[in-house]
Amino acid sequence: MNFASDNSWGAHPAVLAALARANEGAVMGYGGDPVTARAEAVIREALEAPDAVVRFVATGTAANALVCAQMAPSFGRIYCHEDAHIETSECGAPEFYAHGAKLVTLPGTEGKLSPETLADALRAGAGAGLNGGLGAMVSITNATEWGTVYSPGEVAALAGIAHEAGLPLHMDGARFANAVVSAGCSAAEMTWRAGADALCLGGTKNGAMAAEAVVFFDPARADGFDYRRKQAGHVFSKQRFLAAQMLALIERGLWLDLATTANAHARALAEAVTRGGGRLLAPVQSNAVFAEIPAETHRRARAAGALYHLWTDAPADGLDPVPVRLVAAWDMPEAMVARMAGLLAG
Amino acid sequence: MNFASDNSWGAHPAVLAALARANEGAVMGYGGDPVTARAEAVIREALEAPDAVVRFVATGTAANALVCAQMAPSFGRIYCHEDAHIETSECGAPEFYAHGAKLVTLPGTEGKLSPETLADALRAGAGAGLNGGLGAMVSITNATEWGTVYSPGEVAALAGIAHEAGLPLHMDGARFANAVVSAGCSAAEMTWRAGADALCLGGTKNGAMAAEAVVFFDPARADGFDYRRKQAGHVFSKQRFLAAQMLALIERGLWLDLATTANAHARALAEAVTRGGGRLLAPVQSNAVFAEIPAETHRRARAAGALYHLWTDAPADGLDPVPVRLVAAWDMPEAMVARMAGLLAG
Amino acid sequence: MNFASDNSWGAHPAVLAALARANEGAVMGYGGDPVTARAEAVIREALEAPDAVVRFVATGTAANALVCAQMAPSFGRIYCHEDAHIETSECGAPEFYAHGAKLVTLPGTEGKLSPETLADALRAGAGAGLNGGLGAMVSITNATEWGTVYSPGEVAALAGIAHEAGLPLHMDGARFANAVVSAGCSAAEMTWRAGADALCLGGTKNGAMAAEAVVFFDPARADGFDYRRKQAGHVFSKQRFLAAQMLALIERGLWLDLATTANAHARALAEAVTRGGGRLLAPVQSNAVFAEIPAETHRRARAAGALYHLWTDAPADGLDPVPVRLVAAWDMPEAMVARMAGLLAG
Amino acid sequence: MNFASDNSWGAHPAVLAALARANEGAVMGYGGDPVTARAEAVIREALEAPDAVVRFVATGTAANALVCAQMAPSFGRIYCHEDAHIETSECGAPEFYAHGAKLVTLPGTEGKLSPETLADALRAGAGAGLNGGLGAMVSITNATEWGTVYSPGEVAALAGIAHEAGLPLHMDGARFANAVVSAGCSAAEMTWRAGADALCLGGTKNGAMAAEAVVFFDPARADGFDYRRKQAGHVFSKQRFLAAQMLALIERGLWLDLATTANAHARALAEAVTRGGGRLLAPVQSNAVFAEIPAETHRRARAAGALYHLWTDAPADGLDPVPVRLVAAWDMPEAMVARMAGLLAG
């Protein structure tokens, strides 16, 4: 019963089958192969963005950090939520790739930046002059680190503020599919139609082994990006095996199906939490549940072998209720989800 | 009547005289000259640190950033106050020099870190594992950005916590002389005897044109530092002109005399603020005054031609009282300080 | 008939089968899974290096560049052959990862550094003082970029010179298996017993989809390496899929079998070149053939659909003989190799 | 009798006088002062470049490296002579500042790049694709590291080739005044009229204590440069003291007078070398003499206390003739130059 992370779970059989199919004969290396071309095309179609530049890397940290380096100079300010993955969970990758750029972290309820907070921060940053560095970009995560989802309208509001200040908007979409199906909109509505300039489209948490797509909606923003990716060691020589994973997920809509399943699992868990006297810390809009659960429920779940993270920096001994994070994955057995729900509902 | 910054003021005549004296005949370049050797020795003596490695650069930002790069790997966490100069006023220099290291900024009243805050942050940082990066160093500023001064005991408490976590302590001493004379201790008591591992000893705000000393109390910590400084373009070919400035300040105690004068000016201004119905935002322990003054006083001072910074990110129109920063310099005419005090006292 | 690169070819069925096997249930992410533990152990066994630290990344450029960053400071000098992959083919990755370290490139016949050349260069570099940077490491490639192989004795000679100067020796082993079977020695004899301090053990050209192992023979050299890899975006969340590839290659000796096959293919091609009136530009000791072939042979091969690189920066029109590079892969059909040999032999 | 380097010599009295003059009252810091404004204007006038952006730093390494970072991305190729100061004498500063950009070093007689060599290298570099990085800029030094001078026509030929490839041309002018007076042209003819895009105009070797100007002829090339300089710790708070040095040199033509004197000293030494049976290794066109002198002459000069560098990496014992470098400075006593000439002439 592993609810620790969607990273703990596996790859979809279609992904493995695609790898086997791609493993035929000799092709051009470094992305000059037909699988890569097809995967790029399929993603452009899924995003209704025929001019977009699409490139593949194997990790979300690489995707995010490379985009940061592409958009921010060493003296740039990258505005993001204080709980953003790029701030909390990438070991300084954006700063390393962007040669010292500064993440300016902002508060926001339920993992989301508000337009007011962003506008104020951009104004203050501009006022800091040389001392503070040059405003370079805004980065949001969708679905967020708290399992919530920005609607297209909310994305547009933030993009508008960023653009007014001359800054592009980056969307960390490690769980992009979960956000799209949750919002009930198209991938285009969630991104470039709302003003997003770059998207990291996550495959790994969505059923791939290790594959992410970096998308620049305006090709001019991708100038030099292939060199940057190469210099970072993120260009695969046998790239067809990277592209094939994304192709398998995107080409017939599997990515959205899997996200729908994972989101449904999370909702089932969330309902059980509430039934069991727990309290949700944020609305459950994607595949993660942040909640406080009664200590008794926590003990029972642990005793039953459930794995999940406590959601506190402080020592958890004696806490009641207990703050927890439960992450659902598309490949969890239904019975396992049901059993966990039963434990949570008490 | 310029109270905007001690940077607005000049160089002491003894510094200019020292430059003229150093300008005689040909010597070895790049620090192989007798003036440099003498200046290094004099600083070691002033710090009672015969084994310390002393090097000169021209700016405080260079000094701080080079020390950060020396002590922190690219994946390091540098713990500091949220108002630290390295965070707010160096355009990301520490992150640039340390190739992406992350400044972990902590709150603290009156510009000072408390031992509890630091201990908690180190604990949380250690718990973040690979995600958060590796704890690398702790940096404090003395005198602080709020004009307050850590006592040797306070330094020792922070150094103890840092050392317990295996991290060295860096002191940004852009206004180190002001701190030392304020605390009434020796330079040694304020630094290595209290556990500081590296000191940036500021000359520029203390009467030099542009000169700072970087001091590593344990020579092993300076391994490779000369290469680092060279690669950064901070090794002067005619280094005697850099060293001569520090020599002039330190060798006969001028640095402490000038700091004493500047601190006294600030105290005079602070007393006037209080007399005039203003309120100090932090104790005035060095050469800067942070205060709220009545709007009427502010208008009067501005009308009289007084220059100083408003101390707020927000628009200041209509504020009453008005938050301000007044910085005193050793070379302000007494009459000017008296006149400003008169304006502030109302 | 693709002889352009071993990167053009595929993955071994055992590798794909291992991926499928690894795709079972939920495990700890980021390397905390049993497949990773097993793969690391198997490599330590293969190298007879029970204390070695083994880590996985997906590309050879990442492996090399991360080792360079681990061993060289920003002001370091990295000594290598002028045709080294790290110099010619990684888009500046070592310099980027090591924050500006300088590759000092040295000549050497048939892709190999001679002890004399290395010793002279280290001496000259030491004499350059601050101007030239600090000697940091020596990097060699085995098998080399010219398809030749350093014997254990040759490695030991270079390692001895490096160590005498206080520098570690790195071996870029993108085609390490090819070198080992060619030299007829053990992996240990080729590396740590000869004095190598770090090895990049290539899987990708050896039958993996995308997998390389970084090996530090002295664990102390790996301090902080996990953070470095994480910050670079080269830690996979579902790392079992990276480790499984290496495990499949190493655990039952498949890596050596595949290299033996590829080397044999290359020898067959080399013999055909010679029979056909061509001339080998370097001894064929691994899986690459560098040769000049008659223009007529070249036309015939191209007409038959053979793909391979011309080996000259200059325009090739009208050249006779024609310099070419032919690379053999373990999964080339025997018939294809025979057909190409027939074309070359004329 | 110090002929080791122009760095060994001092600052012109006019420079010191300018510092004293600048040391009056309070001004805006960080370059917002009237001395800085005046110095920038005077340099624009001297270069007949009313739109140029002019900024000051204290060292030539900083000037060159900041320009490299401004013009080259991390994956950029910077083409330069193999003896260029940026390659041999800056400890990797350009690579550090440009985050890993690669110096592509080219041969060339007497320290100069030929148009053919440059054109060939740009062609080969473009052919290297992602592997080799992206062509970013061409850098030349004038006067060169071998004391020779590119004429405006030679600069124009190189600039034309660079521009054709889409690359800007940078001129390292650590001894720019020496080059200009040697060529008998204007500063404009030597730079932007010949196609140079950026100039590092050296003050330090020309009579300043430590001052260099960075000039971008097209203001668009300077976008963000102030942030870059600030992040590098090369923005002086009391910048008037940096600007005053350049102002003193440039404003009444002193820079050209001093260079004329230094060049004349070098010519006198060169004539003495020839008279004494020595051989010039390069034409003496600025203030440096590269020559082979009879071993007997060398012994005599050393015995008389003359300091200068041997110009060989190899051990010099027993060499006859002896390769040496003699550098003249504007402030060498005439009698000293005459005495040295006498020793050289035998």
pLDDT digits (tens, 9 = 90+) for A135-175: 999 999 999 999 999 999 999 999 999 999 999 999 999 99
Q: Quote the pLDDT of residue A312.
A: 85
Judge whether D88 is closer than 8 Å to chain C, CB to CB: yes
State the angle between helix axes of B240-250 and B13-22 in degrees (0 to 180), rounded to the nearest 10.
Answer: 140
CB contact under 8 A, A10 and C65: no
Write out chain A residues lying below 8 Å of D130, CB-based: 30, 226-227, 230, 235
Indicate the residue among A235, A252, A269 that finishes a domain: A252
Alpha carbon distance A128, B96 (integer Å): 18
| Residue of C23, C56, C66 to mutate, interface with A, max A Cβ within 10 Å | C23
Alpha carbon distance C184, C256 (integer Å): 11
Cβ-count burial D195-205 (b if 16+ within 10 Å, e if not):
bbbbbbbbbbb
Indicate the DSSP class of residue D27.
-
Q: Is residue C3 part of a domain?
A: no
Residues D112 and D247 in one domain: yes
Judge whether D311 is closer than 8 Å to chain C, CB to CB: no
What's the total number of domains in chain A?
2
Per-residue pLDDT, averaged over C92-97, amounts to 98
The pLDDT confidence band at residue B314, using thresholds 50, 70 and 90, is confident
Indicate the residue among D184, D218, D252 that finishes a domain: D252
Residues D148 and D290 in one domain: no
Per-residue pLDDT, averaged over A115-133, amounts to 95
The pLDDT confidence band at residue A338, using thresholds 50, 70 and 90, is very high
What does the angle CA C39 – CA C41 – CA C47 come to, to the nearest 5 degrees?
105
Domain of residue B315, CATH code: 3.90.1150.10
Per-residue pLDDT, averaged over B323-341, amounts to 96
Judge whether B63 is closer than 8 Å to chain D, CB to CB: yes
Q: How far is D150 from chain A (nearest CA, A)?
A: 33
Alpha carbon distance D254, D248 (integer Å): 8
Indicate the residue among D252, D280, D308 that finishes a domain: D252
Question: Does D115 score more than 80 pLDDT?
Answer: yes
Residues B125 and B274 in one domain: no
Question: Does A317 score more than 90 pLDDT?
Answer: no
- Tell me which residue in C91, C101, C127 faces D92 most closely, judged by beta carbons: C101
Of the candidates A15, A61, A52, A35, the one whose C-alpha atom is nearest the C-alpha of residue A239 is: A35
In 10 A of CB B335, how many CB atoms?
8
Which two three-digit tokens encode residue A179? Answer: 């956000």
Q: Across-strand partners of A135?
A: A77
Q: Quote the pLDDT of residue A318.
A: 83
Residues C121 and C242 in one domain: yes
Residues C285 and C153 in one domain: no
Judge whether D131 is closer than 8 Å to chain A, CB to CB: yes
- pLDDT per residue as tens digits for the range B78-103: 999 999 999 999 999 999 999 999 99
Q: Quote the pLDDT of residue A25.
A: 86
Q: List the single range of A229-243, C18-32, C159-173, D77-91 with lowest mean pLDDT.
A: C18-32
Cβ-based neighbours of C314, under 8 Å, separated by 6 or more: none
Chains that contact A by 3+ CB pairs under 8 Å? B, C, D
CB contact under 8 A, D74 and C96: yes
Write out chain C residues lying below 8 Å of D102, CB-based: 92, 95, 103
CA atoms within 13 A on the CB side of D15: 26
Of the candidates B34, B3, B2, B1, the one whose C-alpha atom is nearest the C-alpha of residue B291 is: B3
Q: List the single range of A261-270, B307-316, C172-181 with lowest mean pLDDT.
A: B307-316
Q: Is residue C2 part of a domain?
A: no
Please count the helices (runs of H) and the strands (runs of E) in chain C.
Answer: 15, 11
The A residues from 222 to 281 touching D (CB cutoff 8 Å) are 224, 226-228, 230-231, 235
Q: Quote the pLDDT of residue B317.
A: 78
- pLDDT per residue as tens digits for the range A164-207: 999 999 999 999 999 999 999 999 999 999 999 999 999 999 99
Mean pLDDT taken over chain B: 96
- Quote the percentage of chain B above a pLDDT of 90: 94
Judge whether B73 is closer than 8 Å to chain C, CB to CB: yes
ipTM metric: 0.96
- Tell me which residue in D73, D74, D224 faces A75 most closely, judged by beta carbons: D224
Q: Is residue C262 part of a domain?
A: yes
Of the candidates A149, A189, A160, the one whose C-alpha atom is nearest the C-alpha of residue A49 is: A189
Name the one residue in this structure whose structure tokens are 């570690």: C168
Question: Does B316 score more than 90 pLDDT?
Answer: no
Hey, is D187 helix, strand or coil?
Answer: helix
Q: Quote the pLDDT of residue C174.
A: 98
Q: What is the DSSP string of C148-215?
A: ----HHHHHHHHHHHHHTT--EEEEETTHHHHHHHHTS-HHHHTGGGT--EEEEE-GGGT-SS-EEEE
Judge whether A60 is closer than 8 Å to chain B, CB to CB: no
| Residue of A16, A23, A90, A239 to mutate, interface with C, max C Cβ within 10 Å | A23
- For B76, name the nearest residue in chain C, comparing CA atoms only: C227
- pLDDT per residue as tens digits for the range B107-136: 999 999 999 999 999 999 998 999 999 999
Q: Quote the pLDDT of residue B188.
A: 98
Per-residue pLDDT, averaged over A5-24, amounts to 94
Q: Quote the pLDDT of residue D318.
A: 83
Write out chain A residues lying below 8 Å of D99, CB-based: 74, 99
Per-residue pLDDT, averaged over C261-283, amounts to 97
Residues B26 and B126 in one domain: yes
Q: Is residue A211 part of a domain?
A: yes
Residues C299 and C205 in one domain: no
Taking chain A, what is the end-to-end CA distance rounded to the nearest angstrom?
Answer: 17
Q: Is residue A231 part of a domain?
A: yes
Residues D48 and D23 in one domain: yes
Q: Is residue C1 part of a domain?
A: no
Per-residue pLDDT, averaged over D273-281, amounts to 97
Burial category of D50 from C-beta neighbours within 10 Å (exposed 0-12, middle 13-18, buried 19 and up): exposed
Q: Quote the pLDDT of residue C346.
A: 85
Residue C276 lies in domain: 255-345
Evaluated on CA atoms C83, C84, C87, C92, the torsion sign reads positive
- Tell me which residue in A27, A28, A93 faces C233 most closely, judged by beta carbons: A93
Q: Is residue C30 part of a domain?
A: yes
Q: How far is C8 from chain A (nearest CA, A)?
A: 5
Residues A134 and A238 in one domain: yes
Alpha carbon distance A38, A54 (integer Å): 11
Q: Quote the pLDDT of residue B313.
A: 75
Residues B310 and B191 in one domain: no
Q: Quote the pLDDT of residue C224.
A: 98
Residues B229 and B269 in one domain: no
The pLDDT confidence band at residue D315, using thresholds 50, 70 and 90, is confident
- Beta pairing class for C212-216 and C279-280: unpaired
| Residue of C77, C134, C225, C236 to mutate, interface with B, max B Cβ within 10 Å | C134
Q: Is residue A148 part of a domain?
A: yes
Q: Quote the pLDDT of residue B233.
A: 98
Which two three-digit tokens encode residue B199? Answer: 């000191």
Q: List the single range of B309-318, C32-41, C146-155 with lowest mean pLDDT.
A: B309-318
- pLDDT per residue as tens digits for the range C189-215: 999 999 999 999 999 999 999 999 999
Write out chain A residues lying below 8 Å of D75, CB-based: 224, 227-228, 230-231
CB contact under 8 A, A96 and B92: no
Residues C296 and C232 in one domain: no
Question: Per this entry, what is the length of chain D?
Answer: 346
The pLDDT confidence band at residue C255, using thresholds 50, 70 and 90, is very high
Q: Quote the pLDDT of residue C315.
A: 73
- For C74, name the nearest residue in chain D, comparing CA atoms only: D96
CB contact under 8 A, A232 and C233: yes
Nearest 5°: phi and psi at C184?
A: 65, 30
Domain of residue B49, CATH code: 3.40.640.10
Question: Does C336 score more than 90 pLDDT?
Answer: yes
- Cα distances (Å, whole numbers) of residue D173 to A297, C217, D201: 74, 47, 5
- Tell me which residue in B75, B92, B103 faces A133 most closely, judged by beta carbons: B92
Q: How far is B205 from chain D (nearest CA, A)?
A: 9
Q: Does the reported pTM lie above 0.95?
A: yes
Q: Quote the pLDDT of residue A4.
A: 92
- Cα distances (Å, whole numbers) of residue B224 to B140, B220, C134, C192: 23, 9, 8, 27
CB contact under 8 A, C131 and B230: yes
Write out chain D residues lying below 8 Å of A99, CB-based: 74, 99
Question: Does C70 score more than 80 pLDDT?
Answer: yes
Alpha carbon distance B112, B172 (integer Å): 13
Q: How far is C66 from chain D (nearest CA, A)?
A: 13
State the angle between helix axes of B295-303 and B334-345 in degrees (0 to 180), rounded to the nearest 10.
Answer: 140
Judge whether A127 is closer than 8 Å to chain B, CB to CB: yes
Q: Is the separation of the CB atoms in A14 and A253 below 8 Å?
A: no
Q: Quote the pLDDT of residue C318.
A: 83
Which two three-digit tokens encode residue D147? Answer: 């004391």
